[in-house]
Amino acid sequence: MLEQLTGHEDPHPIYERLRAHGPLTTDGGMWVTTSHALAGRILRDRRFGVRPADGAFAGGASLLPESFLELDPPDHTRLRRLATPAFSPRKIAEYRARVERVADALLASAGDEFDLIGDFAAPLPISVISDLLGIPDEDTAEFADYGALVAASFDSGVTPEMANANDKVLALFDRLISQRRRTPGDDVISSLVAAEAEQRLTPREMLGTLVLLLVAGFETTVNLIGNGTRALLDHPAQWRLFLDNQDLAPAVVEETLRWASPVQLTSRIAHEPVDGIGAGEWVTLLIGAANRDPEVYPEPHEFDVLRVHKPEHLAFSSGMHYCLGATLARMEGDVALRALARHVPGLRQAGAATFRDSVVIRGMRSFPVSRS
């Protein structure tokens, strides 16, 4: 059933058909779960990993240097630890004022009619992660195009276009790395270069980490902002509620993550037999479906910003791969929504949205809106 999914249609009817078969079922010869409880348990269970127990690369041919998202302990633990300090709640709180300035500037320069994605939701996270990684402004556009291609490769595999872009970006990162070796700054590249000098990671692992941060930073938060804005405009009573009380921003962010999860699925492989799942067998965890599990969320298909989120949705996954950028993404979503409420309270949809093709990353390609 999952192979029938397209990037632009509502996936939930298919998720519900799978849910009817119980918490764990098979689809196209693969285990699949729609259950919040089971998906959460698998994500936290050390008997599952992200690659086969013999360490073979799981995803087939790839040009990308591997990142810790695709690694099990002990490598995962070592590499994640090196990237973690840049995402501490204190660091993120320090970035907030900068993100506010970028959001204000983008909305101030947008016309009466603009594309919410191209003119606001995409450039905001691109600017934030470029800053965090220390990517100079003149290189940002090239990195952004590359991020989009890598994200597309999650669905379609590696294309020749992608291979080209890959070479270019690795060369760009190489240049930035050599520059930071000479003159370290206060950015992630500099701190990874220092770790490499102490042989705590290899040059290839450093590249893998940088590409992961780049793609994760570019390609997910844009959809949190886009999906959240669209949900609010499609539910005018909730948009009014938010306009009247902008401190609801964190609640809108959480409900968007649950109801329109930017990352819809992930997978894990059993390293030993677990409850009927054989060693070496993969399980697809449908995050988007788990986040609408009626056992956890009453009226799960309703978008309700006043909902109580207990337990937490799985939009950021769970367990050891829990999204490292969650605090950053939440802050960016919060800042973006408040900026919209302040600058364009009369916002309305001004044309048909177009959607991304991906079934993994859900969001819009363009969303025409008007200020009034």
Residues in contact with ligand HEM by CB under 6 A are 68-69, 80, 129, 212-213, 216-217, 220-221, 224, 262-263, 266, 315-317, 321, 323-325, 328-329
Spell out the residues 6+ positions from residue 306 whose beta carbon is closer than 8 angstroms to its own.
Answer: 241, 248, 251
Is the Cβ–Cβ distance between 349 and 209 less than 8 Å? no
Distance CA 114, CA 109 (A): 10
- Tokens describing residue 333: 């979503």
- Pick between residue 14 and residue 69 the one whose CB is nearest to ligand HEM: 69
Nearest CB to ligand HEM, comparing residues 5 and 39? 39
Least separation, in Å, of the C-beta of 121 and ligand HEM?
11
Q: Cβ closer to ligand HEM: 102 or 328?
A: 328
Give me the least distance between CB of 369 and ligand HEM, in Å please. Answer: 20
**Smallest distance from ligand HEM to CB 88, Å:** 13
Name the minimum Å distance from CB 323 to ligand HEM. Answer: 3
Q: How far is the CB of 160 from ligand HEM (least distance, A)?
A: 27
SS (H, E, C) 74-126: CHHHHHHHHHHHHHCHHHHHHHHHHHHHHHHHHHHHCCCEEEHHHHHHCHHHH
How many Å apart are CA 186 and CA 178, to the nearest integer?
Answer: 15
CA neighbor of 193 nearest in space, from 210, 176, 181: 181
Q: Closer to ligand HEM by CB, 20 or 331: give it.
A: 331
**CB 213, min distance to ligand HEM, A:** 5
Surface-to-core class of residue 241, CB atoms within 10 Å of its CB (0-12 exposed, 13-18 middle, 19+ buried): middle
Q: Which is nearer to ligand HEM, 84 or 159 (CB)?
A: 84
- In eight-state DSSP terms, residue 51 is S
- Which residue has the CB atom at the shortest distance from ligand HEM? 325
Q: What contacts 227, CB < 8 A, 6 or more positions away?
A: 256, 260, 262, 362, 363, 364
Nearer residue to ligand HEM within complex by CB, 89 or 163: 89
Instruction: Choose between 129 and 135: whose C-beta lies nearer to ligand HEM.
Output: 129
Nearer residue to ligand HEM within complex by CB, 44 or 240: 44
Find the shortest distance in angstroms from Cβ 192 to ligand HEM. Answer: 13
* Strand pairing category for 113-115 and 48-49: unpaired
The CB-of-126 to ligand HEM minimum distance in angstroms stands at 11
Structure tokens at 5: 């999914």
Rounded Cα gap, residues 63 and 124, in angstroms:
28
Smallest distance, ligand HEM to C-beta of residue 45, A:
12
Q: In whole angstroms, what is the distance from residue 219 CA to residue 231 CA?
A: 19
For ligand HEM, give the closer residue by CB, 17 or 46.
Answer: 46
Of 287 and 353, nearer to ligand HEM (C-beta) is: 287
* 139 close to 174: Cβ distance less than 8 angstroms: no
Q: From the CB of 116, what's the least distance to ligand HEM, in Å?
A: 16
Q: Kindly report the CA angle at 57 between 35 and 321, in degrees rounded to 5?
A: 40
130, burial (CB in 10 Å: exposed 0-12, middle 13-18, buried 19+): buried
Output the DSSP codes for 262-313: SB-EEEEEESS-BTTBPTT-EEEEEHHHHTT-TTTSSSTTS--TT----SPP
